[in-house]
Amino acid sequence: MPALAREVAADNSTGRLVRPFTLTGGRTRPSRADFTLITTLTAVDPPPVRAPRPQPEQARILRRCAEPIAVAELAAHLDLPVSVVVIMLCDLLEAGLITAHPPHPVSPRSPDLDLLQKVRDSLGRL
Amino acid sequence: MAGSEPAATAVAPPDTVKILIAGGFGVGKTTMVGSVSEIVPLRTEESLTVAGLGIDDLDGIEKKRATTVALDFGRITISRELVLYLFGTPGQQRFWFMWNDLAIGALGAVVLIDVRRPESSFGAIDFFERRGIPFVVGVNGFHGEHPYPPEAIRDALALPEHVPVLLCDARERESCRDVLIALIDQLIAAAVEADRGGGDDGGGGLTRRGR
């Protein structure tokens, strides 16, 4: 039912809270928890030979991921709730169509001085 | 061998880090994000079912209904390998449970204060203090006016000495940048300290007060 996807894409904020989950086959939880707001996604190019043909909404995501993009940015551009996007990302990850790069690990117990210095220098140039 | 371990793309994905911009409702969080971000702040939404939550200021909200929490965020590219994201936390009290998720993996936070109603940011200060997340306080002077010196604000908020208090203007890029730099300087000082301390005996943790 491509009509559904189109309806969601063209949606003008009415009834938004329910319909996005039609894109996830009614699932409201991701199958894995790999995705934070700042996990970076990249479409695998070329896609694996045996990968299933992406649905229209998935194809939209893949186009956005041609260059690395963070989950939060992707959701904002797609105008979909993060939780919905993450469920779709799980499918794409499992199909081998995207790779997910986790955020830089931040541990208060072992701070990364080198990283902090880079951030400091960059802010100084702002 | 074809098809095994695809080389993702030519562009290696950057490492990402984040800083939270917190504070009460309408205190200037999104303004601050916009002042330093290299992109127009983006908004992402999370739809949630809010079931009462036992909070009393649900003015006009039914007992249980779906609602939307908006997060505004911006981006500062540090280098090709590193990108910093700034997330404005949802300002309304009843969405604080979302902060827990947001706070995980954050370098630290800026708590913005509106001098006209500082109490709206008390909760944010408590949140970061309790979780030992490093933060600085930015006093957003509306129309650039600052009726109180930083020390008066520190006293009023009962902030420990290691928490920097800066007067700022959320509309000004340089001003917001300086607040962020104060946070990073605090983190660097703590990192150097931890390095020197070596034997980690708890080391008086960065944002802990004696209980």
In a domain, B207, yes or no: no
What ipTM score was computed for the predicted complex, to two decimals?
A: 0.81
Q: How many structural domains are present in chain A? A: 1
State the CB neighbour count (10 A cutoff) for residue B102.
21
Q: Supply the pLDDT for residue B176.
A: 97
Place of tokens 């650039």: B144
Spell out the long-range contacts of A55-62 with Cβ–Cβ below 8 A and sequence spacing 24 or more.
A55/A5, A56/A2, A56/A5, A56/A6, A57/A5, A57/A8, A57/A9, A57/A23, A57/A88, A58/A88, A58/A91, A58/A92, A58/A97, A60/A9, A61/A85, A61/A88, A61/A89, A61/A92, A61/A98, A62/A92, A62/A97, A62/A98
In a domain, B211, yes or no: no
Average pLDDT by consecutive 10-residue portion of chain B (211 residues)?
Answer: 45 93 92 96 79 48 64 95 95 78 92 91 93 95 88 92 95 97 96 74 40 32
Residue A4 has pLDDT above 60, yes or no: no
- Residue B155 belongs to domain with CATH number: 3.40.50.300
Please list, in sequence order, all residues whose beta carbon lies within 8 angstroms of the beta carbon of residue A4, skipping any fewer than 6 positions away.
A22, A23
Q: Supply the pLDDT for residue B65.
A: 60
Q: Supply the pLDDT for residue A30.
A: 65
Nearest CA in chain B to A38: B16
In a domain, B205, yes or no: no
In a domain, B151, yes or no: yes
Interface of B with A in 44-73 (CB under 8 A): 44-47, 66, 68, 71, 73
Q: CB distance A67–B76 less than 8 Å? A: no
* pTM beyond cutoff 0.90: no
Which of B44, B133, B173 is facing A72, going by the closest CB pair?
B44
Q: How many structural domains are present in chain B? A: 1
Residue A119: domain span? 2-124
Residue A36 has pLDDT above 60, yes or no: yes
The more confident residue out of B66 and A35 is: A35
Query: Is the CB of residue B149 less than 8 Å away from at least one CB of chain A?
Result: no
In a domain, B147, yes or no: yes
CA distance A3 to chain B (A): 23
Average pLDDT over residues A40-54: 92
Q: CB distance B45–A81 less than 8 Å? A: yes
Select the residue from A42, A97, A123 to test the B interface by mutation, using most B Cβ atoms within 10 A.
Answer: A123
Average pLDDT over residues A66-85: 94
Q: CB distance B78–A119 less than 8 Å? A: yes
Residue B123: domain span? 15-197
Q: CB distance B181–A109 less than 8 Å? A: no
In a domain, B3, yes or no: no
Residues in chain A within 8 Å Cβ distance of B185: 120
